[in-house]
């Protein structure tokens, strides 16, 4: 029996489902039951009948699974897998922005802690941010923590967006020069970037999309060559699902060390020991869950 058989056997015995984000290492994606973007994985977590969810991603994603499936055991194979962007915003930031802009809606990116979600009116992911913010009655929006995504939302919705100025270290490192180099080296390729990249980079791309949108565009467009402006792990799935097409990474800076902390050994150990488990205190879980459920309602994803 090899390691993968051990893992699949343990998974069956634990009645577990293995969810992996699009940025996860190749072998983790191969072992997963579902690979997806943060929105798709939240939906799957809210609907799964499994007793245990092994979340192969980073801490805020596992927390969102706990909020949406409170009766399940949610395991994060490496508790150190965090997100500097999510950790950059605090509940105190939300409270002071709310005090300064009392008429504004507080919209938090899913890349936030549960404590920040608990102070928010609604959550969004990169896949639905424009749709959710457009659906809100308020024209003034406090959005945190990603400043580049906040700017993208403002441009697409025409609303006034106030942000805290946070960034994803990998996405913010992409430059206009990277796009110019890609255009010169791969003329005719479709350049797709994540909305967390700087606005001057987004302005020069063909498409600005979350990772799920990139998967669909790569599948549906007749183009044969794509340049990808998001975390490097994305290329494995795109290449696997589109063998006749080629995919290039826009910049070597697009690499998230936290997403690479998951290994198959850690997944196997987590299933064997039912640890490390992610939990959210009830006083935080209630209001944080409401912000996520409001997102699902506004996107037609609620039950």
- In the complex with ligand 13P, the residue whose CB is nearer, 54 or 259, is 259
Cβ proximity to ligand 13P: between 211 and 268 the closer is: 211
CA angle 8, 10, 14 (to 5 degrees): 120
Q: Least distance to ligand 13P from the beta carbon of 109, Å?
A: 8
Q: How far is the CB of 24 from ligand 13P (least distance, A)?
A: 11
Examine residue 38 and tell whether it contacts ligand 13P (CB under 6 A): yes
- Of 9-17, 72-80, 124-132, 272-280, the window that binds ligand 13P (rule: CB under 6 A) is 124-132
Q: Give the per-residue contact string, 151-180, with ligand 13P (x = CB under 6 A; - = no).
A: -----------------x------------
- Is the dihedral angle over the CA atoms 54, 56, 59, 65 positive or is it negative? negative
Instruction: Sheet containing 190-193: give its strands across.
Output: 207-208, 190-193, 225-229, 246-249
- Under rule CB under 6 A, residue 111 binds ligand 13P: yes
Which of 135, 99, 92 minimizes the C-alpha distance to 113? 92
- Strands in the chain per DSSP E: 16-21, 34-36, 52-56, 73-75, 105-109, 122-124, 140-144, 160-163, 190-193, 207-208, 225-229, 246-249
Q: Which is nearer to ligand 13P, 214 or 267 (CB)?
A: 214
**Do residues 161 and 143 make contact, with C-beta atoms less than 8 angstroms apart?**
yes
Contacts of 36 (CB under 8 A, 6+ apart): 19, 20, 21, 22, 44, 212
The one segment of 132-140, 176-184, 197-205, 210-218 that binds ligand 13P by CB under 6 A = 210-218
The distance of closest approach from Cβ of residue 101 to ligand 13P in the complex, given in angstroms and rounded to an integer, is: 26
- From the centroid of its chain, how far is CA 149? 12
How many binding residues for ligand 13P (CB under 6 A)? 12
Of residues 210, 229, 233, 276, which one binds ligand 13P by CB under 6 A?
Answer: 210
Q: Does 251 bind ligand 13P (CB under 6 A)?
A: no
Q: Please, what is the minimum distance in Å from the beta carbon of residue 176 to ligand 13P?
A: 20
**Interface region with ligand 13P, contact rule CB under 6 A, candidates 3-11, 62-70, 96-104, 207-215:** 207-215
> Stretches 92-100, 121-129, 133-141, 244-252: which one binds ligand 13P (CB under 6 A)?
121-129
**126 near ligand 13P (CB under 6 A):** yes
Gyration radius of the chain's alpha carbons: 19
Q: Which stretch binds ligand 13P (CB under 6 A): 96-104, 184-192, 206-214, 268-276?
A: 206-214
Q: Contact between 229 and ligand 13P (CB under 6 A)?
A: no
How many Å apart are CA 200 and CA 174, to the nearest integer?
Answer: 10
Other Cβ atoms closer than 10 A to 5: 9
Backbone conformation region of residue 72, classed left if phi is above 0, alpha if psi is from -120 to 50, else beta: beta
Binding site for ligand 13P (CB under 6 A): 37-38, 111, 125-127, 168, 194, 196, 210-212
């Amino acid at each position: 029996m090899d390691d993968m058989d051990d893992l699949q056997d343990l998974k069956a015995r634990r009645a577990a489902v293995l969810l992996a984000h699009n940025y996860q290492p190749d072998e983790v994606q191969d072992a997963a039951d579902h690979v997806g973007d943060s929105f798709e994985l939240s939906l799957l977590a809210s609907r799964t009948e499994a007793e245990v969810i092994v979340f192969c991603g980073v801490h805020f994603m596992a927390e969102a699974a706990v909020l949406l499936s409170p009766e399940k055991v949610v395991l994060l194979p490496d508790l150190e897998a965090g997100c500097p962007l999510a950790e950059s915003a605090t509940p105190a930031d939300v409270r002071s922005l709310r005090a300064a802009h009392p008429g504004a809606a507080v919209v938090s990116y899913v890349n936030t802690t549960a404590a920040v979600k608990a102070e928010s009116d609604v959550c969004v992911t990169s896949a639905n941010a424009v749709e959710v913010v457009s659906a809100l009655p308020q024209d003034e929006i406090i959005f945190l923590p990603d400043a580049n995504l906040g700017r993208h939302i403002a441009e697409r919705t025409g609303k006034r967006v106030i942000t805290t100025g946070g960034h994803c270290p990998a996405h913010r490192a992409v430059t206009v020069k990277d796009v110019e180099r890609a255009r010169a080296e791969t003329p005719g390729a479709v350049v797709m970037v994540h909305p967390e990249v700087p606005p001057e980079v987004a302005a020069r791309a063909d498409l600005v999309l979350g990772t799920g949108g990139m998967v669909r565009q790569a599948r549906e467009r007749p183009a044969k060559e794509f340049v990808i402006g998001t975390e490097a792990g994305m290329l494995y799935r795109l290449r696997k699902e589109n063998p006749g097409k080629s995919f290039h990474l826009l910049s070597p800076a697009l690499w998230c060390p936290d997403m690479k902390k998951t290994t198959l050994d850690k997944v196997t150990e987590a299933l064997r020991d039912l640890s490390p488990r992610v939990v959210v205190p009830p006083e935080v879980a209630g209001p944080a869950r409401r912000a996520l459920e409001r997102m699902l309602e506004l996107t037609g994803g609620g039950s």
